[in-house]
Amino acid sequence: MNLASIYDQETLRRHGLLVKPSTLRLWKCKGKYVEEGLFVRFAHKLMVNLDVLEQILQRELEKQKQIGRRMQAKSFKRRV
């Protein structure tokens, strides 16, 4: 389990997470990605599991690629 503090923005950016710590706290409160184990409490600090983060980012990237393929398949010709 590879952990990083939500306040260590440099480490989070290296792993592809470009959000503020306040956003991460909001995700935790709203329950976003909690079931997947993204957030871990360790020594009274909120940490992010970087291994789970990599899996989430890969899954979201695949979703965006599929959306892009669907957009390319549609014809966006201007109708006159």
Which helix (H) or strand (E) segment holds residue 3: the answer is strand 3-5
Phi, psi of 48 (to 5 degrees): -110, 130
Domain that holds residue 30: 3-73
In this prediction, residue 55 carries a pLDDT of 92
Residue 57 lies in a domain: yes
CA triple 53-57-38, angle to 5 deg: 25
Number of separate domains in the chain:
1
The predicted model scores a pTM of 0.72
Type of residue numbered 2:
N
Residue 17 lies in a domain: yes
CA–CA distance, 36 with 57 (Å, rounded to integer): 12
Residue 80 lies in a domain: no
What confidence tens digit (pLDDT) does each residue in 41-77 have? 999 999 999 999 889 889 999 999 998 888 777 766 6
Split at pLDDT 50, 70, 90, the class of 15 is confident
Residue 63 lies in a domain: yes
CA–CA distance, 34 with 20 (Å, rounded to integer): 17
